[in-house]
Amino acid sequence: MSEIDLPEDHPRYASLLTRHRIEAGVEKGITSKQGLIAQGRGEAFDYLLGEQTIPSADAAERAAAAQLLLADHPVLSVNGNVAALVAPEIVALAAAVDADIEVNLFNRTEKRMEAIAAHLREHGADEVKGLTADGRIPNLSHERAKVDADGIGAADVVVVPLEDGDRAEALADLGKTEIVIDLNPLSRSAQTAAIPIVDNIIRAVPNMTAHAEELHGSESETLHTIVDQFVGSDALAAAEEAIRTGAQ
């Protein structure tokens, strides 16, 4: 039995676990009510993908791990859904690839920023960025544009899970290499990403960490080859194909 009192081989285990964590996130003041809607959209796509990591997503997670290991200043962006779903897993990924963690909210309030930062610290994060907010992403409205100048502002590679399309596009326009985790292969965020990962974040983040641990210590040439061999548009096409032909 697990945290939701269901056997892990239950056919809808992933969706029930995800719902449970999001609900707990709302109760804790971490996840917004809009986050529930984003969750519903993701769940529909996960159902169509058979609640599994398809091979193209695993390849994307491996390429993402290689890209993060090659980065000079990688940052993992965390919003309310991400914090509720995978806080300890984000902390583990940050440690595996030596990345910063930064809180970034679509509906930014100082109270929720603080609650998410505290939640991440409870799960082992030493430093959480995003509260200083002394940098701006151009071409976005005021609150949504806020970042830390020495966090996402200075990053070369950014992981943006469950991100809205405008923000993902604005970050890509700034020249950041974007790794997007999004179950909808048609979303603008996934389409904008250098490395789109079409997988549930609860499977994607631990799998990225496993790949990073396995690739740790590899020659940079090997890592570059893994990144270069990954083609984002092929991965998106493979995900669409899996949805259409019924991966489940």
Binding mask 27-56 for ligand ATP (x = CB under 6 A): -----------xx-xx--x-----------
**For residue 179, what are the β-bridge partners?**
159, 195
Distance CA(90)–CA(124), nearest Å, equals 10
Strands (E) across 47-166 are located at 74-78, 100-103, 135-136, 146-147, 157-161
Closest by alpha carbon to 81, among 143, 118, 30?
30
For position 19 contacting ligand ATP by CB under 6 A, the verdict is: no
Element (H, E) at 44: helix 33-48
CA-nearest of 68, 77, 243, 94 to 164 is 77
Give the residue ranges of the annotated binding site.
19, 41, 182-184, 188-189, 200-201
Choosing from 15, 17, 18, 25, the residue that interacts with ligand ATP (CB under 6 A) is: 18
Q: What minimum distance in Å lies between the beta carbon of 97 and ligand ATP?
A: 19
Rounded CA-CA distance 47/235 in Å is: 18
| Shortest Cβ 201–ligand ATP spacing (Å) | 4
Residues in 157-216 that interact with ligand ATP by CB under 6 A: 162, 164-165, 181-184, 187-189, 200-201
Q: CB-wise, 116 or 223, nearer to ligand ATP?
A: 116
Of 97 and 183, which has the nearer Cβ to ligand ATP? 183
Q: How far is the CB of 42 from ligand ATP (least distance, A)?
A: 2
**CA 138-33-239 angle, 5° bins:** 70
In the complex, residue closest to ligand ATP by CB: 42
What secondary structure does DSSP assign to 105-137, as a single string?
A: -SS--HHHHHHHHHHHHHTT-S--BSSS--EE-
Contacts (CB under 6 A) with ligand ATP, residues 107-166: 162, 164-165
User: Distance between CA atoms of 146 and 134, rounded to whole angstroms?
Assistant: 7
Name the residue nearer to ligand ATP (CB basis): 45 or 230. Answer: 45
Residue 198 or 223 having the CB closest to ligand ATP: 198
Q: State the number of binding residues for ligand ATP (CB under 6 A).
A: 19
Bridge partners, 129 (sequence order): 102
Side-chain half-sphere exposure of 161, counting CA atoms within 13 A = 33
Binding residues for ATP: 19, 41, 182-184, 188-189, 200-201
Contact residues for ligand ATP (CB under 6 A)? 18, 38-39, 41-42, 45, 85, 162, 164-165, 181-184, 187-189, 200-201
